[in-house]
Every structure is written in structure tokens, then in C-alpha cells.
Amino acid sequence: MLREASAARRVERSRAFCWVTDPGGPWPGVVVEWLRVGRDWHARTTYVVTDAQGAVQVVVAVVEASRLEPFPLP
């Protein structure tokens, strides 16, 4: 739980831009909304993935905070 809360705070400070650590990623994304699920934090996130042929997909998913990393901004 502490690790997820820490991840949530890091991403929140980065103005909601994030990396979603998923198989084949990380993928660039945006946190749209934070959700409390039991004792854990999750984020409704929109992110973009590409498949092996280079096709782009937009994904909207609820992601555990521990799978998010802040996106460094200039």
C-alpha cells in the first residue's frame, strides 16, 4: 500500500502525465482520475500502445498505482 501511495504522489506531482509499465512498454499516458479500491490506489488512465506491426491503439484502463511512473516534464 505504501509503495502505491508513493507512486500516486509521484505521478500526481508530474501533472498527470505518466508512463504505464505494461508488457511491451512503458507506454506514455495521462491519469484522468484517481480511484481508491479497498486499501489501494488505482488510476483511470488513457495511454497509447503500438503493436508488433506498428499499429497504434488508445487504451483507457484502470491501472494500479504501482504500475505508473512519472513522466518528466521540462
Is residue 48 within 8 A of residue 25, CB to CB? The reply is no
Mean pLDDT computed over every residue of the chain: 82
Q: pLDDT by residue (tens digit) across 7-22?
A: 566 555 445 889 999 8
Task: Considering only residues 12 and 56, tell me which one the structure prediction assigns the higher pLDDT.
Answer: 56
In the chain, what are the domain boundaries? 2-70
pLDDT of 20 reads 94
Q: In what order do the strands lie in the sheet with 17-20?
A: 56-64, 40-50, 27-37, 17-20, 68-70
pLDDT of 5 reads 58
